[in-house]
């Protein structure tokens, strides 16, 4: 077994835990007439014990004594499941499988390959052809579903790495996630569903928002995996209730817990925010493409109900995800949300929020009694000095929510004077991303903005999103109802409350 300090533990102990959890999960799902026979259990245990051999094999070709490149890391992370399947099928006797039984090896290999979320859907059709092994009818697609869930449920703190300082930011986030989980187990609920039970111990020093993000990140991933494997679980155990999305979470206070790094926490915030974005992936991709192209101003255009404070098209959610994803990638994001929170504000309010986001400096706000023109000039000078002092290699992004909350002359001053001044002072590209209603496009025309219309709902994405809360047949009906982003968001919020018993 290759030692891989850049990942959470994918060792023999992990493989054994997955095998044990797979058998336990199967026992909770089955009844006498649908029970797995010995051949099914052999296939399932073999695949569980071997499911990560591809990760170790890919790691052998990397520089084990030094830092991994991002390409090395991505290769191991994204391709190891497929590599595991290939190794099992091509060299079965090496892994303890019968040397002459290519049918058995193919089935084990495909089940192991399917534990990768990205490989699962494409592997299931091949598993449907694996109908018999050793002359016995087997539940190959269902075994793959059980293995994927069992692998996901090996969550506890013992999987955290021995050298967290060696981890990159993505692995550090996963490492910290495991450190926050005292245990993950399953049982049968009163309704006969398999119920997942988590015991969490998240450091109390973290903000309530970050604590919520960590729990949400863990629970959302489990629910998405449940929705992914649900068809194959249902086919293998017809008439059974299956796995419940109402995941039970208990908390335990543990003193002196290790805190996450700033980079790991940024990853967690980004993942949790992305999980909450119901749709709009096309708009998100367009915004990121414009930033890569070096565009200076991006307007996210969507309807906002000013009286009700409702983000009808999801433009604010989109901006939040964009900012957190870029922050997780190392960009310094200076955000202004005060206008959206208060429905009105001055330019000095916006500038002040941007200044407060610059690290390392002490900022004292000018006296409120000063005229607004004086305040905004002083704060703008401080902002220009702050951004000009940043390292030349720094990546900077400035965001502004709800520009319609400003008076016309204030908004024009911000667009026509303040934004160009900041971009001129920054040591590198300092693009702006601003949310607005469509009537404000003309005011920014001289700045040649990229216009991204937010709110075009992809019903397939909505359906996939809602499946983490409810089975597919229910979401089919909802996603075809001609609703808008905020309607689907309210549906998700209410479904979440139902799952939590609130």
DSSP string, 103-116: HHHHHHHHHHHTTS
What percentage of the chain reaches a pLDDT higher than 70?
90
For residue 502, the model assigns a pLDDT of 56
Task: Provide the token pair at 440.
Answer: 């404000």
Question: Could you tell me the pTM of the whole model?
Answer: 0.88
Q: Which helix (H) or strand (E) holds 281?
A: helix 281-292
Q: What pLDDT shows up at residue 62?
A: 59
Residue 447 has pLDDT above 80, yes or no: yes
Mean pLDDT of 288-298: 95
Q: What percent of the chain has pLDDT over 90?
A: 60
- Six-digit token pair at 283? 């708009």
- What pLDDT, on a 0 to 100 scale, did the predictor assign at position 499? 92
Residue 393 confidence (pLDDT): 87
User: How does residue 369 score in pLDDT terms, banded at 50, 70 and 90?
Assistant: confident
Mean pLDDT, all residues of the chain:
88
Higher-scoring residue by pLDDT: 241, 324: 324
Closest CA to 121 of 274, 2, 225, 234: 225
Give pLDDT, residue 326: 95
Q: Give the pLDDT of residue 170.
A: 83
pLDDT (average), residues 105-131:
95
What is the pLDDT confidence band of residue 239, given thresholds at 50, 70 and 90?
confident
Residue 357 CA: distances (Å) to CA of 55, 212, 214: 40, 22, 23
Q: CA–CA distance from 108 to each of 40, 77, 117, 119, 180 (Å)? A: 10, 21, 17, 15, 33
Mean pLDDT of 202-207: 93
Over residues 380-387, mean pLDDT: 93
How high is the pLDDT of residue 498?
Answer: 92
The CA distance from 488 to 468, in Å, is 13
Which residues are CB-contacts of 419 (< 8 A; sequence separation ≥ 6)?
A: 297, 432, 447
**Is the pLDDT at 372 greater than 90, yes or no?**
no
Burial class (CB in 10 A: 0-12, 13-18, 19+), 447: middle
The pLDDT of residue 274 is above 70: yes
The pLDDT value recorded for residue 60 is 65
How sure is the predictor about 68, in pLDDT bands with cuts at 50, 70 and 90? low
The pLDDT of residue 167 is: 75
Instruction: Read off the pLDDT of each residue in 74-100 and give the average, rounded to a whole number.
Output: 87
Residue-wise pLDDT for 135-187, tens only, equals 999 999 999 999 999 999 998 777 776 666 667 788 889 889 989 999 999 99
pLDDT digit string (tens) for 299-357? 999 998 877 788 999 999 999 999 999 999 999 999 998 887 776 678 888 999 999 99
Is the pLDDT confidence value at 8 over 70? Answer: no
Q: Which pLDDT value is given to residue 4?
A: 60
C-alpha distances in angstroms, 265 versus 39, 105, 176, 211, 259? 44, 41, 9, 10, 9
Per mean pLDDT, which range of 273-282, 318-327, 341-350, 393-402 is the poorest?
Answer: 341-350
Tokens of 58: 């890919």
Q: What pLDDT score was predicted for residue 223? A: 96
Q: Residue 55: what pLDDT?
A: 80
pLDDT of residue 162: 66
């Amino acid at each position: 077994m290759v030692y891989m300090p850049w990942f959470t533990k994918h060792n023999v102990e992990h493989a054994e835990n997955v095998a044990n959890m797979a058998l336990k999960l199967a026992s909770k799902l089955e009844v006498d007439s649908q029970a797995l026979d010995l051949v099914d259990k052999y296939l399932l245990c073999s695949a569980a014990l071997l499911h990560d051999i591809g990760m170790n094999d890919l790691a052998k070709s990397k520089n084990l004594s030094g830092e991994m490149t991002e390409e090395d890391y991505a290769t191991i992370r994204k391709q190891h499941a497929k590599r595991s399947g290939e190794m099992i099928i091509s060299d079965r006797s090496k892994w303890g499988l019968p040397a002459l039984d290519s049918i058995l090896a193919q089935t084990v290999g495909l089940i192991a390959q399917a534990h990768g979320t990205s490989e699962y859907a494409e592997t299931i059709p091949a598993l449907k052809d694996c109908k018999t092994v050793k002359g016995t009818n087997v539940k190959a697609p269902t075994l793959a579903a059980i293995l994927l869930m069992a692998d996901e449920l090996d969550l506890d703190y013992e999987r955290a790495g021995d050298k967290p300082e060696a981890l990159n930011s993505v692995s550090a986030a996963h490492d910290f996630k495991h450190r926050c989980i005292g245990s993950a187990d399953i049982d049968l609920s009163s309704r006969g569903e398999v119920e997942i039970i988590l015991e969490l111990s998240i450091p109390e020093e973290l903000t309530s928002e970050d604590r919520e993000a960590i729990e949400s990140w863990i629970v959302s991933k489990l629910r998405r995996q449940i929705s992914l494997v649900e068809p194959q679980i249902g086919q293998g155990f017809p008439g059974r209730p299956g796995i419940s999305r109402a995941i039970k979470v208990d908390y335990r206070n543990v003193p002196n817990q290790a805190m996450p790094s700033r980079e790991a926490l940024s990853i967690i915030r980004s993942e949790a925010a992305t999980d909450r974005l119901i749709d709009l992936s096309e708009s998100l991709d367009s915004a990121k493409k414009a930033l890569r192209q070096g565009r200076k101003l991006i307007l996210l255009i969507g309807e906002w109900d000013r009286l009700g404070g409702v983000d009808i098209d999801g433009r604010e959610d989109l901006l939040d995800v964009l900012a957190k994803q870029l922050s997780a990638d190392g960009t310094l994001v200076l955000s202004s949300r005060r206008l959206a929170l208060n429905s009105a504000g001055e330019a000095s309010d916006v500038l002040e929020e941007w200044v407060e986001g610059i690290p390392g400096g002490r900022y004292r706000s000018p006296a409120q009694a000063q005229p607004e023109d004086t305040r905004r000039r002083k704060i703008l000078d401080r902002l220009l000095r702050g951004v000009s002092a940043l390292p030349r290699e720094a990546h900077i992004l400035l965001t502004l929510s709800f520009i319609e909350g400003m008076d016309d002359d204030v908004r024009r001053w911000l667009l026509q004077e303040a934004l160009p001044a900041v971009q001129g002072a920054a040591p590198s590209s300092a693009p702006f991303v601003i949310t607005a209603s469509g009537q404000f496009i003309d005011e920014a025309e001289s700045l040649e903005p990229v216009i991204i219309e937010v709110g075009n709902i992809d019903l397939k994405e909505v359906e996939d999103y809602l499946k983490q809360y409810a089975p597919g047949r229910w979401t089919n009906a909802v996603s075809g109802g001609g609703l808008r982003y905020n309607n689907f968001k309210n549906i998700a919020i209410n479904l979440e409350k139902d799952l939590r018993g609130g």
